[in-house]
Amino acid sequence: MEASAWLDHARHQMAQGHLHGAVESLRQALADEPDDAEAHALLAIVLHDLRRIHAAAHESALALRLAPDSMLAHRAAAHVAVGQRRVGEARGHLDILLAEGPADPDTLRLQAWLLRLEGDDAGARKVLETAREHDPEDVLVLIALGRLHRDRGDYGAAAACAGDALRLEPESAAAHALQGSIALAKGDEARAREHALEALRNDPLDEEALRVLCGLKARRNPFLGLWWRYNVWIGTFGTRAILVLLGAFVAYRLGLIGVGSGTGALALQVAWLALCVYTWVGPSMFRKSIERELEAVALDEKF
């Protein structure tokens, strides 16, 4: 195929969430056209989504150097800057993008991502709804909106977005993974497993789908199961979670005052310390279980 055909194929793979396949397609395009700024910009976005941060930054810098006026190059640079929490730099690129195309769904999705990073979920939702109005069939916007609803605990709205995305792209790994994560949060293990496996058939290394499978394992594990449920619950508070944790600490201190000194105070202190350790080691154990899944080449259908 020619470079342009590889680029079109990569865009389709990105829309479906097939990021690893998109990387290979873009490498093929760059083998034919090494100075293609569009290919470098798309590769930067995909590499960042695969958490290959340094490589993504290198590719976005190349794209901007090759085509300083390219909106796609600015989008890639903004994407990488948001991912690296360089808010000021991200806003600079976003201002350029919004001035050029204020109704562009990709730009609005990126703006929503930055707003979520800043803790403004309400603003992010408004931006994503605007993007959806401009293009009701943009699968990536639907997935982003679904993830926002899911993270806020609105599973009905999240499932509706995921369902719309799947009707538009039945093979979208990201949409299946989103639907699986919603089902898992609602306790529907069979449906969660079904969607996770479907996502992994389309993208064997989709991390959110693997996280769903690990979540299923965690629910059956007496030690991790309680932490997993707590993590889902605390996650619904978003940036307000810090207030919940602060309230728990205040309750603990008041409890100490209430029981006074002696055995009661010691027991409460030990319980609080155990809770802190539990919530500290739980994420590490869960992350390791995901990494073990990522090392697997194939999935056992009897999982």
Rounded-to-10 torsion of CA 222, 286, 121, 179: -80
Question: How would residue 232 be classed by pLDDT, with cut points 50, 70 and 90?
Answer: low
Q: How far apart are CA 229 and CA 245, in angstroms?
A: 16
User: Do 108 and 141 contact (CB within 8 A), yes or no?
Assistant: yes
pLDDT > 70 in the chain, percent: 81
How many CB atoms are closer than 10 A to CB 196? 30
Which pLDDT score, from 0 to 100, does residue 298 have? 45
Which pLDDT score, from 0 to 100, does residue 238 have? 57
Whether 301 shows a pLDDT value over 70: the answer reads: no
If you average pLDDT over residues 139-155, what whole number do you get? 93
Whether 234 shows a pLDDT value over 70: the answer reads: no
Which pLDDT score, from 0 to 100, does residue 270 have? 79
The model's pLDDT over 151-160, given as tens digits with 9 standing for 90+, comes to 988 999 999 9
Q: What is the DSSP letter of 261?
A: S
| Long-range own/partner contacts, residues 80-83 (CB < 8 A, 24 or more apart) | 80/44, 80/45, 80/48, 80/53, 80/56, 82/110, 82/113, 82/114, 82/117, 83/48, 83/53, 83/56
Whether 297 shows a pLDDT value over 60: the answer reads: no
| Long-range own/partner contacts, residues 298-302 (CB < 8 A, 24 or more apart) | 298/204, 299/197, 299/200, 299/204, 301/197
Domains 1-100 and 137-303 in one fold:
yes
Whether 283 shows a pLDDT value over 70: the answer reads: no
Which pLDDT score, from 0 to 100, does residue 204 have? 76
Provide the CATH topology of domain 1-100: 1.25.40
Tell me the pLDDT of the chain averaged across its residues. Answer: 83
- Better-scored residue on pLDDT, 259 or 87: 87
Lowest-confidence pick of 78-87, 164-173, 218-227, 255-264: 218-227
**Prediction pTM value:** 0.68
Instruction: Give SS3 for 221.
Output: coil
Question: What's at 127, amino acid-wise?
Answer: V
Whether 295 shows a pLDDT value over 80: the answer reads: no
Whether 3 shows a pLDDT value over 80: the answer reads: yes
Which pLDDT score, from 0 to 100, does residue 300 have? 46
If you average pLDDT over residues 237-241, what whole number do you get? 59
Which pLDDT score, from 0 to 100, does residue 34 have? 92
Q: Give the N- to C-terminal CA distance of the chain in Å, as an integer.
A: 38
Which pLDDT score, from 0 to 100, does residue 269 have? 76
If you average pLDDT over residues 270-278, what whole number do you get? 73
Lowest-confidence pick of 40-54, 93-107, 238-252: 238-252
The model's pLDDT over 15-54, given as tens digits with 9 standing for 90+, comes to 777 888 899 999 999 999 999 999 999 999 999 888 888 9
The model's pLDDT over 184-208, given as tens digits with 9 standing for 90+, comes to 989 898 999 999 999 988 877 788 8
The model's pLDDT over 173-183, given as tens digits with 9 standing for 90+, comes to 899 999 999 99
Percent helix, percent strand, percent coil in the chain, to nearest 5: 80, 0, 20
- Is the CATH number 3.40.1010.10 carried by domain 137-303? no
Whether 73 shows a pLDDT value over 90: the answer reads: yes
- Better-scored residue on pLDDT, 13 or 168: 168
The model's pLDDT over 117-135, given as tens digits with 9 standing for 90+, comes to 888 999 999 999 999 999 9
Residues near 112 by beta carbon (within 8 Å), at least 6 away in sequence: 123, 124, 125, 127, 128, 131, 144, 148
Return the domain boundaries, the chain: 1-100, 137-303
